[in-house]
Amino acid sequence: MDNILRTLEKNAREREELETQRRREELAKKLEPFVLGYVTRKKYQGQLRTIRNNCFKDFTDLDKSNKTLLTVREFLQKAPRCVASSKTANEITLFCNVCRHIIISLDSNSKEVNFAAAFLNKETLAVATKLISTIFAQIPDILLRITGEKAVELKQWQCLIHLVIGMSTPTTWAIVRNAPQVQTALNGLCAKLMAVFYEEDNYEKMTNSLFIAVNDQKPIVSLETVNAQYSIIYRVVRNRGENENLFSIFVTRILTCPAIIQYLNPQNLESIRSTELFERALFWLRANQEELESNLDVRVIINLLANLIHMAYNDEQTLIANLYEWTWCIGVALTRCTEMAVNNTNKSNLHYWHPVFGHYLVPIDKKTEGALRNVVQQLRLLWSAKIVRCLFDKAFASAQAQLTANNDTNMITTSNAARSPSNHKDLGAAFSKLWRKLGGTSNDSTSSTKEKCVEIPESPPTLTAVVCQLYMTALSTMIRMKREIVSGLCRDDQLLRQLWLYIKEWGAKNSSGSSSIFNTSSIDHYGPVSASLQSLKRLYSPHTATLRLFADATAAIVSILDEEEIFEKSVPFSVKELEAVSRYNNIFCFRAIWNGIIDEVTASTNTLFQSMHSLCMVLYERDSRRSFVSDPKFWLVSEVKSSAIMTEYEKKTSRGILLMRKMSHLVPIKERMLLFRRQVNEDKTRVSNIAADTHLQTWITVQRNRLIEDGFHHLSKLSVTALKSTIRVKFINEQGLDESGIDQDGVFKEFLELTLKKVFDPQMNLFSTTATGVIYPSPTSSLHEDHLSLFTFVGRMLGKAVYEGIVVDVQLAPVLLAAILGSHRLCAFDELSQLDAELYRNLTFVKRYEGDMTDLSLTFSIDEDFLGKIHTVDLVPSGRTIPVTNENKIDYVHRMAHHRVFKRTQEQCRAFVQGIQSFLQPTWLSIFAPHDLQCLISGQNSDIDLDDLKRHVQYFGGFHGSHRLIKWLWDILENKFTAEERKLFLKFVTSCSRPPVLGFSYLEPPFSIRCVEVSDDQDQGDTLGSVVRGFLTLRNGTTATRLPTASTCFNLLKLPNYNKKSLLLEKLRYAIHAGTGFELS
């Protein structure tokens, strides 16, 4: 039994061993192919390493020295194995080494080694053809995988493109260079070999790789390689009507490459012109509107836009011939660019920054940001002199031809300038469609509700309107370049004049009346005004863009004109034309508000009104400096009395409030001053009621040698209500003793005058003064500790003076005045003439310079000296690297002036304004212009009205209006003193040389004259004896030796009772010139 069991166990083991053996044999059979494959690959790789190490290891560059070329037969044996695959980095390296061997061999005169010889031999032709086909088929994939991050990759890129160019041009092969018949045969062969690149999939890869090559601040490969690859891509689509599918890829992929036109060499640019690529691309885009309107990625639209602009700049004739198509493409591209742009009202921290469009919805990678710098250079060509002149010359010629055709209805012509009615109708419909595409939509509507917006039938937009809308679209789209665009349009002085003539002709044609606004004072019809106002009422008004462009460009150029250009050179307008433009804008803005077309809401949203109003204010401010109008009441409107406007304002009607806020100059300054005083008095009543209820009264003690320190310490902590109420001041003299006297507002006036005089003194370095005495914040005020709080304190003190009706002899710079008013925008260049005369002269030289601006080596930066250290400030991002050219010099002038006038001291201005507006509400000040506010602060700059002063003077100490000395005084002031001496007399008594704007009835305290017998330190005021002696003209012995004095805090003149008129004249003249009147009682 045991034997049987052992036998069974043995048999079982044998069966298991046999099964295991069988499984092993089956597994071995399955693994054999894999092992064989692995071994074969290892062997193959070893052979490749051998070939690479022995045959192609030296071909890492195209230097012919120290390189041994294989014979053609050897090469054909070894090369196919080296180019069979190109997936890994090592394989690509070997692949490129083989390509370099071919490139170098093509320059050899030996048929043994020149690869071209393989095509001349029937035995090797098939192998050579297959080899090149294999290489060419892999090149698009290899190019697409190259990132350009390594230098070796860039060498590989250039090698591959070099090979393609070399193999496609048999005329360059050394062994057939002198055999034209052979070259002809080889051309056909090469064309067949090149066909692989023009398969749709490979063609897209080639275009995409070219995009990668140029999508950086500078191409990652050489310009020669870029041009070579471009020529390969363009070769198949250079002929019209061929390969339309590939041409569509070319337009949507190559023309969207960043700045590709900028990188092309003269040969490729000539090829574009000779093959009419520009025109073909425009027509393709028009025929395939959906590509531009929706299909193309919005992020690359800007590249297409820039390239189309660049091609227009290079080919002016094609641009003129296809102006409509080009304008359509540019307009659509601009509107597409806004899809990702963010309005200022919607911007947030979640958005990204775009160097052209500002806040953007999608991020921009570093390479694209670098490429945009080149794209921006192309975009600038849109407002270059060449394209601007080309577009507007064509537009104005078209407008003139249309006008001529309308005047002669019987004229029949087949020229392009005067189309037949049917063609004109078609063109009008096309322009209307383009108008909507460019953005001439309800965005310009004046109404905030659709019920107010009724679309009124109107003639189709003219070519001039379309071109203007094109530039307005650019201005609203490329917000970061707005000033540069306007400056480019202002470069040609004739453009503005031509636009003005066009507006007049358009207005005369489209209004019920004549253009009487330009030559008469009739108010029945305003020609262009009545026609232009219709643009505010229509949903789709073609004239809106023309008006806006004219207004924006004119405002920009007028703001930098000097008096010589306006009054002598008549640039860009004559004085009469400038007066006509001013009248037109003034009446336009007035009627827009008065007739209810513009209200509070639309005043800030209607772009046409904003542009026209800005121009109106620029012209008004310019005229206020030196008038160019003949009528002193020019800026008033004759159809409505100023009293009617005031009534509307006091009734708080919307148009009355808006008119006073936007166009306060329609009301004479004195009426506005009276309104201001009424508002202040109402506020004083309110404050006095609060003070009476709370027993609010402030006492401060001030040392005379610490006026600012003590004043700042006490008053900066007070509330606005406490500052507006009564403040009593007690002075401490230099000996530390209280000064005698009771403060009946006069002592506080003295404190206020002394404080303001000291803080505005340039030696304190809070403010600086110009040669003309204009005061502006000091750029180095930061040397003071907490200097911004000091500026706020100064603003409060000046606000207190204006609030109390105290006239202060301070001439603030218009930039400060405008900052106080808030809504008023000044022309920086205009203000620069007062703040920095030297810089103004230099910028004027730049503005007028007719040579090459690059000769001056200027950049968009400024060097500033701060305490002996030079700091370079960029006027624009990276401004120190941007040269000033003839094209951007106007923008440079604007930015330099803006920096000097506004940005340099903007923190100080902001603090000063905060202080003054705590007293004077912005709504009170909104009725003034900057020069009006100056009058409010320091009085009117005119001669003293002696009759008004006589009516409001108060006499003390026995003096009266018929007193002999008083009669002498008035006669001396009127007949003996000059106007300048009368100002000195007023300054002597009141501390301010200018009379109050509203007259001496508003001088606080009232102007007073008192007879005195003793010196100021012995003066005890009026007594019965002094009054009687003064009344009877009795004199004491010391009268003849004493000088007149004044108490400026009380506006009081103290006159000794002189016995001779000549003595009074002598003493008074000496006193006002010596300044002895500032002895304070």
Give the containing element (helix H, strand E) for 935. helix 930-938
- Rounded Cα distance between 439 and 475, Å, is 12
Contact 493, 572 (CB under 8 A): yes
- Rounded Cα distance between 461 and 471, Å, is 15
- Rounded Cα distance between 298 and 311, Å, is 20
Active site residue 1049: yes
Q: Strand 1008-1012 and strand 1052-1056: pairing? A: parallel
- For residue 569, the model assigns a pLDDT of 86
Contact 714, 732 (CB under 8 A): no
- For residue 141, the model assigns a pLDDT of 94
pLDDT < 70 positions in the chain: 1, 44-54, 241, 343-350, 402-460, 510-528, 530-531, 537-542, 740-746, 823-825, 1014-1039, 1075-1081
955 three-state secondary structure: strand
- For residue 343, the model assigns a pLDDT of 67
Among the options 55, 257, 490, 1049, which is catalytic?
1049
CB atoms within 10 A of CB 408: 10
- For residue 1081, the model assigns a pLDDT of 33
- Rounded Cα distance between 22 and 18, Å, is 6
Tokens of 527: 């020609």
The residue ranges of every structural domain in the chain are 1-47, 384-667, 946-1078
* Topology of the domain comprising 946-1078: Hect, E3 ligase catalytic fold (3.30.2410)
Q: Which amino acid is at 216?
A: D
Q: Can you name the residues that pair with 883 across neighbouring β-strands?
A: 859
Between the CA of residue 1046 and those of 281, 373, 705, 1015, 1054, what are the distances in Å? 84, 67, 22, 11, 5
Q: Strand 1008-1012 and strand 767-769: pairing? A: unpaired
- For residue 1018, the model assigns a pLDDT of 44
Residue with tokens 């070329």: 69
175 contact partners, CB below 8 Å, separation of at least 6? 108, 109, 110, 111, 114, 116, 117, 120
- Rounded Cα distance between 793 and 13, Å, is 111
